Amino acid sequence: MAGATRINSRVVRFAIFASILVLLGFILSRGSATSYSLPSGLTSDTSQSTGSSPKSESKPSSQGSSGATELKKTYTTDGKEKATFVSLARNSDVWSLASSIRHVEDRFNHKFHYDWVFLNDEEFSDEFKRVTSALTSGKAKYGLIPKEHWSFPEWIDKERAAKTRKEMAAKKVIYGDSISYRHMCRFESGFFFRHELMQEYEWYWRVEPDIKIYCDIDYDVFKFMKDNNKMYGFTVSLPEYVATIETLWDTTRAFIKENPQYLPEDNMMDFISDDDGLSYNGCHFWSNFEVGSLSLWRSEAYLKYFDHLDKAGGFFYERWGDAPVHSIAAALFLHRDQIHFFDDVGYFHNPFNNCPVDADLREERRCMCNPKDDFTWKGYSCVPEFFTVNNMKRPKGWEAFSG
């Protein structure tokens, strides 16, 4: 009975969220030498694993209210990690991306000077390079996406794909008729980490146009991830638009059935499914903000998973987004304590805000946001579920912002 109640409440939240999406019409998502404790099969390349990786002995997190306050943080600028910011952008995005860069630099990177990698399916203009390189404190690098990573693969039936776009347009599905959006989702899902400019890095932070960072981040985020054995970090989580991923879970279940060795015992299936894996509840990490280890996407498990999805054609026959693809993979292939919720960043991407609801934390980090605008604890946010399944203590005063 409790399970049925949980599923019903989730369905209600999905319905509310889908209505809001249609009403707003806003963007959902655009799109080593280091030793990690990885699940079996998550090797750092495409070769077969020669042995099982050590398993984490940790249980579901019982961290403090912030989910990070009891974890190690490094505040010095000595010995930077092999890390970069990465932005997929067009030349026309120059000024909206300039604002994003300034937010990240002012709140974090002016102290740590990490590089920026900019990727485009067309050559970057001189203006784009001039404006963005003047704002970055680290090296700015500009890359052209290979055509094979931004086009229809040979196995896709273009007529079938065109029919899907027409049907989605008629149903007013967000980006339902867009070809470029589908190329973007496929690229972010399976190729951004393979670009030649990304090969020297082990960590990345994804930054998109028109985002805001509200709080000072005075510790090295990449060292934080490494030192605490975190592999994936997020700020916003919400249900995916069901009409865009109708067969994604069935396709995923087929992969799991064929490759059970890639799922550690302490995976986070209970975050993405309310019925032990029979169905997908839609919860995903909003991938316009990601801080993560590139070894996750370069792993044997993920590369095989992406290839399985790509051959199924759902990026074009439906409108699979990189956010649910990344989220499902992280939830299934990682140990649950390797996924981190950044509650101390303060983040905005239209139309959602992440603003710390803890007044002491906002004051400490000089956050410039109104907690009343915070999305984290709202009824159709998936972050409360993340805290529940991981046995995490919620921040002080969260109830006042859960309406």
Tokens 């369905």 locate to 11
CA distance 254 to 365: 45
CB 245 within 8 A of CB 296: no
Measure Cα distances from 5 to 1, 191, 212, 276, 390 in Å: 6, 40, 37, 15, 20
Residue 52 CB partners (closer than 8 Å, separation 6+): 40
Q: Tell me the β-bridge partners of 140.
A: 116
Strands (E) in 266-381, as ranges, are 283-285, 290-293, 339-341, 347-349, 352-354
Sheet holding 347-349, edge to edge: 212-213, 347-349, 352-354
Q: Are strands 83-88 and 352-354 parallel, antiparallel or unpaired?
A: unpaired
CA distance 317 to 161: 5
CB atoms within 10 A of CB 81: 21
Burial class (CB in 10 A: 0-12, 13-18, 19+), 160: exposed
- Of the candidates 188, 290, 318, 385, the residue annotated as catalytic is 290
Helices (H) and strands (E) in the chain, counts: 15, 12
Active site residue 290: yes
CA distance 230 to 65: 18
CA distance 130 to 128: 6
Tokens of 305: 């998973």
CA distance 221 to 337: 17
Maximal C-alpha separation, the chain? 62
CB atoms within 10 A of CB 292: 26
CA distance 88 to 298: 19
- Nearest alpha carbon to residue 211 among 103, 135, 120, 370: 103
- Which positions are annotated as active-site residues? 290
